[in-house]
Chain A
Amino acid sequence: MLSLSVNSPIPNTLVPLKLNPSRPQTRLFSSVSLRKLQVKASSAEVAFKEEEKYSDEGVSPTRGLSEELPPGLSRKAMPKHVAVIMDGNARWARKRGLPSSEGHQAGVQSLRELIELCCKWGIKVLTVFAFSYDNWVRPKVEVDFLMSLEGIRISVIGDSSKLPTNLQKLIRDAEEATRENSNFQLIVAVSYSGKYDIIQACKGIAQKVKEGVVELDDIDETLVEQELETNCTDHPYPDLLIRTSGELRVSNFLLWQLAYTEFFFVQPLWPDFGKDEFVDALTAFQKRQRRYGGRDS
């Protein structure tokens, strides 16, 4: 299922990476070589070429921060935190008679585009929900791509204990290395259960009560919020949730955090979700009136 073709173990300390456009890109993934990583993955040839293309263009994907927004969108009314349920990879592949790994690969491409758009348009946090481990077909390559984006902070929520140990380490190291970055945060939900998040918050609170740090009377919404796995970000509540492939449900993704989130359900399958669809979602979001139970007037 997972084909992780990493030659040597990743060194303990990863240095945050800055793409230098003037640097001659003679080696594939030469930017990554700064961290002395040896990657032997013939199946990832295609992806490497893609990376080369980015490097050759000499432009960091996150550089154009003041890029003009499409007509009709206002920067002020941009959601701070967008959550996405990336549904439909397998269906997309089936429709084309391709193996499901192709579907997941196409899905990864969609995600990359979305990350870049979010960075450019001032969205601070993006949380993505991957339904199954299958989405991590070539995790090393994806993590490297993410690390190449300037100022991005990577966080992972959910139960990563069932992933292969080297992948777990990869994730931990990436989180550690990018912890101080503040331009943009990507939260990846791996085997995440909204219900379990609340239960583990409850266990954490119970522990604190036992230790005397917290009184029973002190248990309130703020305390629960601080114990949830989304405490890795300053904006734990998504403003907008997008789910692709036409399913009209949340499927045990973030539950507590979606209290006042605007839902946007779209028909296209995840690999077909691109800039146009995202603009539609943002336009619809900006038109909505969010009253939080009160009244406008």
Chain B
Amino acid sequence: MSSGSTLGVGSALHSFLVFQMEKSNCSRARQILDSLVSFLRKFIFRILSMGPLPNHIAFIMDGNRRYAKKLNLIDGAGHKVGFLAVTSMLKFCYELGVRNVTIYAFSIDNFKRSPEEVQSLMELMQEKIEGLIKDESIVNCYGVRVYFVGNLKLLSEPVRLAAERAMLATAKNSKAVLSICVAYTSTNEIVNAVEESVEEKWNQITVLEASGAGYGLIKLGGIEHHESEPLIKLVDIEKHMYMAVAPDPDIIIRTSGEARLSNFLLWQSAFCYLYSPSVLWPEIGLRHFLWAILNFQRHHSYLNKKGEQLQHLLQDGF
């Protein structure tokens, strides 16, 4: 090797190394910034956790399509960006210590949309569900058990199978719970719970009759000395709800300024705090999350008082 070419290789190597170092300095700066932000956030969360914390937050993720239109993105891109917002919200929730999170991913009403949109949403869901099972996914990082809540029979086969696999794969996680509502409406959930409660009672009576112990108990109203006992109670219906896997939500957040529930958690939202910021779902950030928590804390004592009063009312009635 001549000394000239060694020098040439040497200087090329030198430039290459300098370039790499600059790049890593950039990403290094980025890393430091990220760590700082993360530290600050965790610090704020620690302060917040001195007050009452919600046990369960539910999200209605409205505004993906409007966001895509606003930024002139192609159809379907809004939902993809929306998914990023989901991961960051989940991170905030689990970091803060909120054990239960529910998201309204796909309503039975959404089947009414154009077949193309439904198809692309199904594909996106399948892709994301499969991503959940991966080791490095957020659910495994935080020990989250995933449930798919809704009338899963309405889903296409591949999506339903992916959902069932995800539920199985995360069944051992026990630190937190994520309920993903797909093919869900609250009225459908309630009808299903009613149907199952009635069927259960019907079967009980039939069994009693068959065993002979039910002799004379033809009336579904029950045994004579139990005549006054109500046929079906609150607990019967609640245990047949799809959402029985989680307690009632403390906060429901619906983005994009719409103030309605759109058939989401109607039963479970009886005493829940409703927050509807005007921000579109893909744009939701830490400040909205903090605002929701702060307001929850502010109203918490009122809720406790009223909730107790009404709980007594409910207990008397049932």
Contacts and interface: CB of A to CB of B under 8 A. Distances in A.
B113 interface: yes
Given A203-B230, A247-B299, A251-B310, A293 B107 contact: yes
Contact of A250 (B186, B270, B303, B314): B270
Contacts of A193: 310, 313-314, 317
A224 interface: yes
B198 A209 contact: yes
A248 B274 contact: yes
Interface stretch (B2-10, B12-20, B88-96, B231-239): B231-239
B157 interface: no
A256 B190 contact: yes
Contacts of B201: 206
Contacts of B303: 249
A248 B271 CA distance: 9
Interface stretch (A8-16, A167-175, A194-202): A194-202
B155 interface: no
A205 interface: yes
Given A193-B310, A224-B190, A251 B270 contact: yes
Contacts of A196: 314, 317-318
Interface string B210-225: 0000000001100000
Given A216-B198, A295-B113, A202 B274 contact: no
A95 interface: no
A193 B309 CA distance: 12
A210 B195 CA distance: 13
Contacts of A219: 191, 194-195, 198
* Residue from B108, B198, B220, B267 having most chain A Cβ neighbours under 10 A: B198
B114 interface: yes
B291 to A, nearest CB: 12
Nearest to B220: A210
A288 interface: yes
A203 B306 contact: no
A256 B187 contact: yes
Contacts of B220: 206-207, 209-210
A261 B186 CA distance: 14
A249 B298 CA distance: 14
Contacts of A258: 261, 266
A221 B258 CA distance: 25
Interface in A143-202: 159, 191, 193-196, 198-199, 201-202
Interface in B283-316: 295, 299, 302-303, 306, 310, 313-314
Task: Classify chain B: how many residues form its interface, as a range.
Answer: 35 or more
A294 B272 contact: no
Contact of A293 (B186, B263, B267, B313): B263
Contact of A221 (B112, B191, B230, B302): B191
A65 interface: no
B231 A203 contact: yes
A199 B65 CA distance: 38
A295 B260 contact: no
Contact of B260 (A221, A255, A260): A260
Given A259-B262, A260-B263, A293-B110, A195 B198 contact: no
Nearest to A243: B274
Contacts of A292: 109, 112, 262
B114 A295 contact: yes
B154 to A, nearest CB: 14
Interface in A210-257: 210, 216, 219-221, 224, 247-252, 255-256
Interface string B158-193: 000000000000000000000000000111101100
Nearest to B107: A293
18 contacts: A194-B270, A195-B267, A199-B232, A202-B237, A206-B202, A206-B220, A210-B202, A216-B195, A221-B191, A250-B269, A256-B187, A256-B190, A259-B186, A292-B112, A293-B109, A293-B112, A295-B113, A295-B117
Interface of B: 65, 107-110, 112-114, 117, 185-188, 190-191, 194-195, 197-199, 201-202, 219-220, 230-234, 237, 258-263, 266-267, 269-276, 295, 299, 302-303, 306, 310, 313-314, 317-318
Given A209-B202, A216-B199, A259-B262, 20 more contacts: A191-B313, A193-B310, A193-B317, A195-B270, A198-B267, A202-B237, A206-B232, A216-B198, A219-B194, A221-B187, A249-B269, A249-B303, A252-B271, A252-B314, A255-B270, A256-B187, A265-B274, A293-B107, A294-B112, A294-B113
| Closest A-B pairs by Cβ, 3 of them | A293-B109, A210-B220, A294-B112
